Amino acid sequence: MKQLKKEYLSKKVQDLKPSGIRKFFDLAAGMKDVVSLGVGEPDFVTPWTVREAAILSIEQGYTSYSANAGFLELRKEIAGYMNKQFNLTYSPQSEIIVTVGASQAIDIAMRAILNPGEEVIIIEPCFVSYSPMVEMAGGVPVHVQALKENDFKILPSQLDAVITEKTKAIMLCSPNNPTGTMLNKKELEDIAMIAIKHDVLVIADEIYAELVYDEEYTSLPSVEGMRERTILISGFSKGFAMTGWRLGFVCAPKEMSQAMLKIHQYAIMCAPTMAQFAAIEALQNGRSDIIEMVKSYRRRRNYMVQSFNEIGLTCHSPGGAFYVFPSIESTGLSSEEFAERLLLEESVAVVPGNVFGESGEGHIRCSYATSMDQLQEAVKRIKHFISKLER
Ligand code: PMP
């Protein structure tokens, strides 16, 4: 068949780089007996009562659109949840939008605030979608590196140094993907001071807020002066083990929410209704399931941190999410080389740290959202791999 003219595609899309994670999934997909620490999603199946609520809604014939912003009943549940868990008050009528995953929430947030050429500060290592989403919205991503010597926590002075006249927002993710690093109240207050000083917005990706293991969680808009300048992104994928349902939400002051709603209503109409019924049940009765999942993740995190340190791959203990981010610098391999050889020689899939940004180099991301048996097998194989390298 004739090759399609590349000019059919927009310049912006032509310039987008494919995600560095994909390459490893594609390689792993063609192999047998792979232990995967690669995927960023819970190994738990969505709790049964949540699944049942969706089934019931289908049986009862609730198959039409909901309100653009999502069922009001669900928005009321979200408002109650945000209030109870994080001490935040958002109006279900005008400040909450139910989205197709946190992913769509980030997308409409960018598109609602960015004029061409305006900058968004992206703190690396980070989720691979942020920069492309800024670019697709016409903005310019400005990368700043959270460093391993600071436990991958960004310093306020680093933010201060990169903010310019063109800066519109800071993208902040805590607990973080890929490092698992969580920022405490004091650290958030320090970042808030910079945002307020320069009058910039913050898009706070708090999708992992339920999965925290040591300290109490502080949500950014609960910090003094931040509610009015924060677009809060969250959702059901991680904490509620609902990745495939594609359901997230965004909370923001009325003017920003209504701007995002304009985009949402034209592009998406509404999030899937059966998933919304499931989410109502998850918020009403899902707390005990979350508590059990968090207990299990904490055990696995402890095991992985201890194992990596014993193997000689320095690994700090992350406060949240379900990733560890050990250093592989002692091996002398680049993160790409390490990940590729580990996959080909020992059939263990991990993600090289460099795909998450410059300061991720020298590390690998390992998701511990898989069974303890699989984790033990992975550790055994990684140990074998390292001992071979040492020979
Ligand atoms: N933000 C972060 C930091 C993530 O890790 C992910 C998923 N990997 C998302 C957002 C997207 O989540 P969702 O499934 O809700 O679109």
pLDDT of the chain, 391 residues: tens digit per residue: 788 888 999 999 998 888 877 777 788 888 889 999 998 889 999 999 999 999 999 999 999 999 999 999 999 999 999 999 999 999 999 999 999 999 999 999 999 999 999 999 999 999 999 999 999 999 999 999 999 999 999 999 999 999 999 999 999 999 999 999 999 999 999 999 999 999 999 999 999 999 999 999 999 999 999 999 999 999 999 999 999 999 999 999 999 999 999 999 999 999 999 999 999 999 999 999 999 999 999 999 999 999 999 999 999 999 999 999 999 999 999 999 999 999 999 999 999 999 999 999 999 999 999 999 999 999 999 999 999 988 7
The answer to whether 234 touches 259, Cβ cutoff 8 Å, is: no
Give the binding-site residues of ligand 1, using a 6 Å CB cut-off. Answer: 40, 101-103, 127, 173, 177, 205, 207, 235, 237, 243, 248
The tokens of 22 are what?
Answer: 């994909």
Ligand 1 centroid from CA 338, angstroms = 25
DSSP conformational letter for 280: H
The answer to whether 181 touches 153, Cβ cutoff 8 Å, is: yes
Ligand 1 centroid from CA 331, angstroms = 31
Alpha carbon distance 81, 117 (integer Å): 36
Ligand 1 centroid from CA 207, angstroms = 6
Query: CB count, 10 Å around CB of 116?
Result: 8
Domain containing residue 137: CATH number: 3.40.640.10
The residue range of the domain holding 323 is 6-46+288-390
The closest-lying atom of ligand 1 relative to the alpha carbon of residue 103 is 16
The answer to whether residue 1 is domain-embedded is no
Q: How many domains does the chain have?
A: 2
The answer to whether residue 88 is domain-embedded is yes
Kindly state whether residues 270 and 336 are assigned to the same domain.
Answer: no
Kindly state whether residues 308 and 222 are assigned to the same domain.
Answer: no
| pTM, two decimal places | 0.96
Ligand 1 centroid from CA 231, angstroms = 15
Alpha carbon distance 97, 264 (integer Å): 9
Instruction: Decide which of 250, 285, 320 is a domain's last residue.
Output: 285
Kindly state whether residues 128 and 276 are assigned to the same domain.
Answer: yes
- 48-59 helix and 273-285 helix, angle to the nearest 10 degrees: 140
CA angle, 35 as apex, 29 and 41 as ends, to 5°?
80
Query: How many CA atoms are closer than 13 Å to the CA of 269, on its beta-carbon side?
Result: 5
Kindly state whether residues 214 and 336 are assigned to the same domain.
Answer: no
Query: Strand, helix or coil at 307?
Result: helix
Domain containing residue 24: CATH number: 3.90.1150.10
Kindly state whether residues 72 and 140 are assigned to the same domain.
Answer: yes
Kindly state whether residues 212 and 152 are assigned to the same domain.
Answer: yes
Count of residues for the chain? 391
Ligand 1 centroid from CA 40, angstroms = 8
With the most atoms of ligand 1 within 8 angstroms of its CB, the residue from 179, 238, 247 to mutate is: 238
Q: Give the CA distances from residue 92 to residues 232, 247, 315, 351, in Å, rounded to whole numbers and listed in that order.
A: 14, 16, 41, 38
